[in-house]
Amino acid sequence: MNLIIFGATGMVGKQLVKQALLTGHHVKAFGRNVFTELNMEEKKLELIKGALFDEGEVSNAIKGCDAVLSALGGGFDGNDKTRTLGIKNIIAQMKKNTIKRIVAIGGLGVLNFDETTLLLEQEDYPKEYLPVGLEHKKAYEYLKESDLDWTFVCPPNIIDYEVTGVYITKANYAPEPNNNKIYAGDLAMFMLNELGKNEYVKSKVGISN
């Protein structure tokens, strides 16, 4: 596949780049600091320096891709709109270029508590995570309202560790047991595998080691 990775210089993004190349994909890594953060010489890797909020730059980068992987990060205080405005622009440019498939990272709080409420809507949800949780919720809403074939992965604490291949997933809810952690390598592995398996199209996904 021809893949583009947004958030390619972050913890999960770097794992996505590495694993995608190892499995034979052609990779476009998009971001402001890709040339300094991704010091790799690979024939199938194309580094694209660009601004996430720039419609033209994102559109040109997405053009010709088969699928999009989004590992966008940012601050936790709610003032950083990278996750929401970034995914909004990605969606718009995917539509413009008739690209349908995206697998994106959200957060645990967007998963269901029950059939009518989310985890972040519960009284005992940690208040310090609520601002970023609401940003993830808005990003999810943008995807849900689109006509794209989206998958929104909602991980717990992401640990900077290589792939083990041992993890569990569940549609819309946290998996059981939920150990409240996922290795960055395993999160990346799931995202790449989902592009081929399409088990969670138009669905949120809980994941845990």
Q: pLDDT digit string (tens) for 35-49?
A: 999 977 788 999 999
SS3 content of the chain, % helix, strand, coil (to 5): 35, 25, 40
CA 138, distance to chain mean position in Å, is 14
Closest CA to 191 of 6, 47, 41: 6
pLDDT given at position 78 = 67
pLDDT of res. 16: 98
> What is the rounded distance in angstroms from the CA atom of residue 88 to the CA atom of residue 73?
14
% of the chain at pLDDT higher than 90: 90
> What does the pLDDT read at residue 41?
77
Range of the domain at 83: 2-208
Mean local confidence (pLDDT), 107-113: 96
> Angle 2-148-188 (CA atoms, 0-180°, nearest 5)?
50
Q: Does residue 79 surpass a pLDDT of 90?
A: no
Model confidence over 183-198: pLDDT tens digits? Answer: 999 999 999 999 999 9
Looking only at the bridges linking them, the beta strands covering 168-171 and 203-208 are: antiparallel
82-106 pLDDT per residue, tens: 889 999 999 999 999 999 999 999 9
- Looking at the structure of the chain, the number of domains it has is 1
Beta bridge partners of 46: 28
According to the model, what pLDDT value does residue 75 have?
72
Q: What number of other Cβ atoms are within 10 A of residue 60's Cβ?
A: 14
3-class DSSP assignment, residue 27: strand
User: Which CATH number do you get for residue 186?
Assistant: 3.40.50.720
| pLDDT score recorded for residue 76 | 66
pLDDT at 143: 98
Range 32-39 contact pairs with CB under 8 angstroms and sequence separation of 24 or more: 33/9, 34/8, 34/9, 37/8, 37/9, 38/8, 38/9, 38/14
- Which pLDDT does position 39 carry in this prediction? 78
Summarize pLDDT for 148-186 with one digit per residue, the tens: 999 999 999 999 999 999 999 999 999 999 999 999 999
Strand ranges in 7-66 using DSSP code E only, listed in sequence order:
26-31, 45-49
Q: So what's the pLDDT on residue 40? A: 79
The per-residue pLDDT of the chain, averaged, comes to 95
C-alpha to C-alpha distance for 16 and 6, rounded to whole angstroms: 10
Residue 61 in contact with residue 39, Cβ under 8 Å? Answer: no
